[in-house]
């Protein structure tokens, strides 16, 4: 699984970090940071939830 984050779309809602803190973190600038672009399959449900919850569709998950 590959996780992509379009930082230009991020508004810092923090939902990604709340749902998948192993993969996303809100940085000092208030925007999301990708901690792991290739998390294991056990993280798929959390990453998909983060993708769906992102208000600006800044997250994309590729299988």
**Digit-coded pLDDT (tens) for 33-60:** 999 999 999 999 999 999 999 999 999 9
DSSP one-letter code for 16: H
What kind of fold does domain 2-58 have according to CATH?
Alpha-Beta Plaits (3.30.70)
Model confidence band, residue 26 (pLDDT cutoffs 50, 70, 90): very high
Residue 63 has pLDDT above 90, yes or no: no
Mean pLDDT of the chain: 97
Local structure of 34: helix, strand or coil: strand
Residue 40: the pLDDT is 96
**CA-to-CA dists, residue 52 to 22, 28, 29, 34, 49, angstroms:** 17, 24, 23, 16, 5
The whole-angstrom separation of Cα 56 and Cα 5 is: 11
The token duo for 39 is 């998390």
């Amino acid at each position: 699984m590959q996780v992509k984050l379009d930082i230009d779309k991020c508004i810092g809602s923090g939902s990604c970090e709340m749902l998948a803190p192993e993969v996303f973190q809100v940085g000092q600038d208030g925007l999301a940071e990708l901690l792991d672009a290739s998390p294991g399959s056990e993280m798929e449900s959390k990453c998909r939830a983060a993708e769906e919850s992102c208000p600006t569709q800044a997250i994309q998950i590729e299988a």
